[in-house]
Amino acid sequence: MSTTSQTTRKRGVFSRLYTGTGAFDVVGHRKTWYVAFGALVLVCVLSIVIRGFNLGIDFTGGSQFQMPASGAAGTITTQQVEDVFRSSVGEDPASTQSAGAGGSATILVRAEPLNPAQIAAFKDAVFHQLQPLDANGQPSEQVISDSAVSGTWGGEITRQALIALAVFLVLVTIFLAFYFERAMAIAALVALVHDVVVTAGIYSLIGFEVTPSTVIGLLTILGFSLYDTVVVFDKVKENTRGLLNLTRRTYGEQANLAVNQTLMRSINTSLIAVLPVIGLMVVGVGLLGVGTLADLALVQLVGIIAGALSSLLLATPLLVDLKMRDPRYRKQAERVAARRARAAAAQSGDTEEDLDAADDEALARELRRERAMAAAASAPDRVRPGRPQGKAGQGRGDHNRAAGRPSGKRRR
């Protein structure tokens, strides 16, 4: 009996999750979400301020080497190059990656700024130990190129990214304020700032290297986070249309219903978005060894997860708190509570006071409207029984007209 009841309860929760009929009280536990998100943001901000970021050589400057992956003894691997660099320079390179395939495959090495003696020692060690081949298939030291990477390029990328972020936030604020309302615009921007801060803070906490690809990837997650929030808010707007004239549910309850109705969709969308990002990390790092793809995929993975959570657990509860500052919605919530109290008292028999007739009429109108919307959304078009279709129906109609209407002729 106990096992059967637990199975029924589990199926009920999953069924409500799939149908969106209110399986989770997200808005009711908003203080818990505020504490959790607030603590996460605080930790991330402290890490950014105290620890800072592990900036790549594109921001700090450094030395870069490039050589063919074909050597006299076979294909040159990144591990062999790292070993040669460590033995000749005395330190580890910042990154070593391979690019291309076949005869055009190359190996790219990036390191902290090196002096001319260290550069010459590394190139000489690579030539004698690995013997990279030139276009004629002969070992040559000339195919090992070196260049200095300036930190100003990464700084320029960051400056342009910050400008793009500022323009994006301004345009998003204008769009949300006109399409929705001011409270929704504020809640969406708070969730958006949360996603950026958390993603940057995780990079600072774990010590991931920040490259221009990281900055570009950070901008790409803003659109996904905003898209998910707009979908939820659009459902909230639909559920709360005409709410001030009704006494069936409060604004918070209707907003919580909207979250549940879009919960399964948000989960599916996030999973579909995360899968190709994971594939990008596996292919880019595991197969191709391209560190740029790893940086781009990593920031997108963190941003997608943070954006999905904030749009469901932060933006909508914050919207409810902002809306409940309006006296009209507070009075409507009081009317809902009073109606429920009168209904409970009438049902228990403690009082003979009738419910408000205006509330009954409003509830009846709301129920009729919900039934009409549900029928229009789910029921297929049907042929009315009183309207004949086709030739057969036309013949029956003629017969009915002949039988039911006088022809003007006298019966004999």
Q: Which residue has the higher pLDDT, 155 or 52?
A: 52
Asked if residues 194 and 41 have their Cβ atoms less than 8 Å apart, the reply is: yes
Q: How confident is the model at residue 281 (pLDDT cuts 50, 70, 90)?
A: confident
Distance of alpha carbon 181 from alpha carbon 336, whole angstroms: 24
pTM for this predicted structure: 0.67
Backbone dihedral region for residue 207 (phi beyond 0: left; psi -120 to 50: alpha; all else: beta) = left
Average pLDDT over residues 46-58: 84
β-partners of residue 133 are: 139
Q: How confident is the model at residue 55 (pLDDT cuts 50, 70, 90)?
A: confident
What are the residue ranges of CATH 3.30.70.3220 in the chain? Answer: 62-149
Q: Which residues contact 338 (CB under 8 A, 6 or more apart)?
A: none
Strands (E), 179-311: 209-210
Q: Report whether pLDDT(110) > 90.
A: no
Q: Can you give the pLDDT at residue 39? A: 95
Looking at residue 135, the DSSP 8-state letter turns out to be T
CATH annotation of 27-55+153-323:
1.20.1640.10
CATH annotation of 62-149:
3.30.70.3220
Asked if residues 89 and 128 have their Cβ atoms less than 8 Å apart, the reply is: no
In 3D space, the residue among 270, 254, 252, 273 whose CA is nearest the CA of residue 321 turns out to be: 252
Asked if residues 64 and 220 have their Cβ atoms less than 8 Å apart, the reply is: no
Among positive and negative, which fits the CA dihedral 355, 358, 362, 364? positive
Average pLDDT over residues 261-287: 79
Q: Which residues contact 176 (CB under 8 A, 6 or more apart)?
A: 184, 185, 188, 189, 230
Average pLDDT over residues 332-357: 72
Average pLDDT, the chain: 77
In the structure encoding, which two tokens stand for residue 63, read together? 């030395």
Average pLDDT over residues 35-48: 94
